[in-house]
Structure 1
Amino acid sequence: MTPQHSDTAGSDSAAGRSVSVLAHPGAGRGRRRALLPALLDALGPRVRLLEADDSAGAEQACRDAVARGTAAVVAVGGDGTFHRALQAVAGTGVPLGLIPAGTGNDFAAAAGVPADPLTAAHAVAQALKTRSFRRYDLARVTAAGQPDRWFGAVLGAGFDALVNERANAMAFPRGPRRYDLAILAETLTLRPRRYTVRVDGGEPWTFDGILVAVGNTASYGGGLRMCPGADPTDGLLDVTIGAAMPRRTLLRLKPRLRAGTHVTDPLVTTLRARTIELAVAGPVVGYADGERCAPLPIAVSSVPQALTLALAENPNQRDTRASEAGR
């Protein structure tokens, strides 16, 4: 993976403009809430903390900041916070800074953002000061009657999405146990669905399956490598398809997700394309970056270099050194 580098993202100088910060107070189950003042201090004196009461408000606050001409948007939280900020900055050239402080930080990990929040904050501040930006591909989701959505990591449209949907509808218990119970319930009621997939405008392919995932990066859910070959700099999307299978086979494959070795199973198919059209018999809502995205049918397309990421260079990263040498 070799990110594209740019010193000129945006049409004018960022000098004199404030940095807008979207912070999720409950990210990481609230464990890092006390870090926020130190993170804001590390980002510098011209910082504006965005206020929002809910997810929709968070997205709108980021859009408003971009419309005002903010120097950058910085997301403090996990993949959900990243996803909200992404809707405002994707395709605009406005830099996005990532400070991973959630339970899942999959895009940040794929992009090489330091895992320690304070270290990441200093890296973002340095990148904005020196205008050291990296360009990454994003995925854009189109669904009839709905505004387009962007995601950076993986979209799930099968068993994984159904687990998320069930967990979100549960009032009890709270925390990770809710997802454990949702996984158990979906496993007990596991049944294949009839999917139709069309790749790059070709002939449609219809099959019975339990899972379809579309990856811009390799992992979701805090390190589950559902699409292990996905690269957010190649202009392509990776698709992982799980065919109809009994419960015992699904349970056997689950531990292999961390290593990404599930793709070698004969019941798993992988594809790579620029555009994926996906439909299913019955109601299924796709989840992207762990967030509710859009009901199927959907079309997902790769948009090369749609994200400008504010991240100072890492001198220990080989592909970064090679890219610098080629400037």
Structure 2
Amino acid sequence: MGLNAALAVHPASGRGAAARIAEAVAARLRPAVDRLDILTAGSVEESRALMRSAHAEGLDALIVLGGDGAAHQGVQFCADHGVALGLVPSGTGNDFARALGVPADPRAATDVLAKALQAGRRRSVDLGRLGETWFATVLCAGFDAAVNARANAMRWPAGPRRYDLAILAELAAFRPRPIVLHTDDGVLELEATLVAAGNTPYYGGGVPICPAADPEDGLFDVTVIGTPGRARLLRMLPHLRTGEHVGRPTVHTFRTRTLRIEAPGWPVYADGEDQGGAPAEATCVPSALTVVS
């Protein structure tokens, strides 16, 4: 049997970038596979239906052309159906692709992916599990989740700059709260501004909130920012971009396989997608996803 692949295209990703380059990406992939179906979807429901239809016809690999939202949907499908996932980044954040070492340029990423498909290269990576939802990058609660919600609602600007502006806007409204964290090693109670559990390091378009997170070690890297106050938090923000925040006195880090966050009223996001509010309980599932790499 030959290699049956599908290219899932999310036309709105990257302000239409995915739609503009879809044919060029498909042309680069076709020589590497025996069959390539194009799945173009305008909604999550349509995307899932197309993926299920492709799976019924013997799908071996799903290539997602889009941003982190599109990657998140691909992760759900591939983890549940045992299909290998490939990524061609064309969104504004591309944090999962970044963590996997995928080239930022879509055409370069496609060429690397085509070679990996031809060579049969695969590797297994961990995923987080939150209820019935898989996540590949970071689960966040508190200030950073509120920032994520605000950034998602903003139409301008594009890219990481939008996240930076959302941070500044949210600083005026957010208040630290008492939280309880249940971990593998016990219970931690403290006042905090945010909690981030990273399967991979990045969120928010390249912010290494959990800089040492490794998607092949079976553990979350957890970053908790306590109560530095607005002024100190503002001064800390540039260090988030470099990962140097983990050395600050009000920042706590640890590793755990399971994490329950009890913080009533706090918003919770995973892979940049709204997951409702706390309490939230997540588990790191080793080797839950196969990626073409």
With normalisation by structure 2, the TM-score equals 0.90
Alignment of 1:3-14 (within 5 A): 13=1
**Match for residue 83 of structure 2 among 94, 113, 119:** 94
Alignment of 1:112-261 (within 5 A): 112-142=101-131, 148-169=132-153, 175=158, 179=163, 182-200=166-184, 202-261=185-244
Q: Percent of counterpart pairs with the same letter?
A: 45
Name 1:298's counterpart in structure 2: 280
Distance 1:123 1:180 in 2: 31
1:290 Cα offset (Å): 1.4
Name the SS of the counterpart of 1:90 in structure 2.
helix
1:166 Cα offset (Å): 3.1
What runs of 5+ residues in structure 2 fail to find an aligned partner? Answer: none
1:86 Cα offset (Å): 0.5
Against the structure 1 CA distance between its residues 59 and 242, is the aligned structure 2 distance closer, same or farther, given a 3 Å change threshold?
farther
Q: Is the 8 A contact 1:209 1:244 kept in 2?
A: yes
Name the SS of the counterpart of 2:14 in structure 1.
helix
Name the SS of the counterpart of 2:174 in structure 1.
coil
Deviates more, 1:100-109 or 1:212-221: 100-109
Against the structure 1 CA distance between its residues 249 and 64, is the aligned structure 2 distance closer, same or farther, given a 3 Å change threshold?
farther
Distance 2:269 2:45 in 1: 16
Distance 1:80 1:90 in 2: 16
1:18 lines up with 2:18 in the alignment: no
Equivalent AA in structure 2 for residue 304 of structure 1: P
Name the SS of the counterpart of 2:193 in structure 1.
strand
Equivalent AA in structure 1 for residue 205 of structure 2: G
1:289 Cα offset (Å): 1.6
Q: Is the 8 A contact 1:137 1:233 kept in 2?
A: yes
Q: Is the 8 A contact 1:66 1:88 kept in 2?
A: no
What CA deviation, in whole Å up to 9, does each residue of 1:121-177 have, x standing for no partner? 2222232233211111111112xxxxx11111111111111122234456x657467
Name the SS of the counterpart of 1:129 in structure 2.
helix
Equivalent AA in structure 1 for residue 130 of structure 2: V
Q: Is the 8 A contact 1:199 1:277 kept in 2?
A: yes
1:304 Cα offset (Å): 1.0
Name the SS of the counterpart of 1:194 in structure 2.
strand
Equivalent AA in structure 2 for residue 249 of structure 1: R
**What is the alpha-carbon root mean square deviation over aligned residues?**
2.1
Distance 1:88 1:197 in 2: 30
Distance 1:259 1:181 in 2: 18
Equivalent AA in structure 1 for residue 23 of structure 2: P
Distance 2:190 2:58 in 1: 47
With normalisation by structure 1, the TM-score equals 0.81
**Match for residue 40 of structure 2 among 30, 51, 72:** 51
Equivalent AA in structure 2 for residue 58 of structure 1: S
Equivalent AA in structure 2 for residue 232 of structure 1: P
Q: Is the 8 A contact 1:190 1:247 kept in 2?
A: no
**Match for residue 263 of structure 1 among 223, 242, 246:** 246
**Match for residue 285 of structure 1 among 241, 263, 267:** 267
Aligned residue-pair number: 289
Distance 1:205 1:261 in 2: 23
Against the structure 1 CA distance between its residues 294 and 57, is the aligned structure 2 distance closer, same or farther, given a 3 Å change threshold?
farther
Distance 1:117 1:75 in 2: 11
Against the structure 1 CA distance between its residues 267 and 259, is the aligned structure 2 distance closer, same or farther, given a 3 Å change threshold?
same
Distance 2:105 2:157 in 1: 26
Q: Is the 8 A contact 2:11 2:42 kept in 1?
A: no
What runs of 5+ residues in structure 1 fail to find an aligned partner? Answer: 1-12, 143-147, 312-327
Equivalent AA in structure 2 for residue 259 of structure 1: T
